[in-house]
Amino acid sequence: MDWIYDIKDPLWETLAGSFLIFIVIVLVTRIIGLRSFAKFTAYDFAFTVAIGSIISSTLTSSTSIVHGAVAIASLLLLTFLFSFLQRRLPKLSSLISNKPLLLMEGSEILYENLKYARIEKTQLIAKLREANVLDHNQVQAVVLESTGDISVLHASDPKATLNRKLLEGVRRTP
């Protein structure tokens, strides 16, 4: 029965550690801001995975609470620093962030872009269904965002036109 519960498991330490790590994350996030856990870029995703890993190793007692808290705080500080530098140095932003990619322009599927992004047509169609698109003619644009999410811009009114400013920074070709 040790695989279900072992009397030597540090349950109280884990509960106390969870509480302390939670407090650290809340405090540091309040200081640095909500951008800390935003999902804008690939490094944001890597950061979120790293934070999860640190929390896991801290709560399973393979590292101390202080060590985990310092690691989390330093990652949050690095995220703050990178977001600050990205505003100041546009070249840095283009180095660490993927630009969004157009997958559909109007009702036309851009197959070369799908191939480049390694997205199957069936996956694209599934995203259209999720967005409640009833006809390809409703689609104004479909964009693979820098986060990996797919945005479907559509309108039920055939006379509606897409404001081109919404596609600022979106690549039309890979």
Give the CATH architecture of domain 98-167: 2-Layer Sandwich (3.30)
- Tell me which range, 35-44, 88-97, 117-126, is most confidently predicted by mean pLDDT: 117-126
pLDDT at position 152:
96
**Amino acid (1-letter code) at residue 168:** E
- Cα(36)–Cα(172) distance, rounded to whole angstroms? 30
pTM given for the model: 0.68
For residue 110, is it left (φ>0), alpha (ψ between -120 and 50) or beta?
Answer: beta
β-bridge mates for residue 153, sequence order: 141
Instruction: Give the pLDDT confidence of 28-84 residue by residue, as tens digits.
Output: 888 877 666 666 667 777 888 888 899 988 888 778 889 999 999 998 888 888 878
